[in-house]
Structure 1
Amino acid sequence: MNKKWTVKRITINLTSDEANRLEKYCQQTGRPTTDVIRELIRRLAHNPSSEKLN
C-alpha cells in the first residue's frame, strides 16, 4: 500500500516537566518524539469521548 503524506509542521509549547516526561519516555522506548506524538493524535481520532473538551 502506498501512503501519500501531506506534511504540516507544527510547534508546541511544553512546560519543562512535560518536555522532560516526553524525552524520558522516548529514551525508555527508543522511539522518536514525532512517532510518539503521532500515535497520541491517532488515538484521539479513535476515541470520540476525547473530542469533548468541556
Structure 2
Amino acid sequence: MTTRIDIRLPEQELEILKAYCQEQDRTQTEVIREFIRSLRKKIKNQ
C-alpha cells in the first residue's frame, strides 16, 4: 500500500530537485524515496 503526500518547496529547492533528477535520469519520486530510506541509517546510528 502506498500513501500520497504533498509537500511545499521553495522554488529554489524545487529547481535543485528537478536538476538533480534530470542529471541522474530519475524521477522525483525515486530520489525522494531514496532520501527517506537513507534516514533509516541515521536513526540507527544515533
TM-score, normalising length: structure 2: 0.89
Bigger helix share: 2
Aligned-pair distance for 1:34? 0.3
Q: Which has the higher contact order (CA 8 A, sep 6+)?
A: 2
Specify every segment of 5 or more residues in structure 1 that has no aligned partner in the other structure, as ranges: 1-5
Structure 2: 5+ residue stretches without partners: none
Q: TM-score, normalised by structure 1?
A: 0.77
Report the number of matched residues: 45
Q: Percent identity among equivalent residues?
A: 40
Q: Which residue of 1 aligns with 2:11?
A: 16
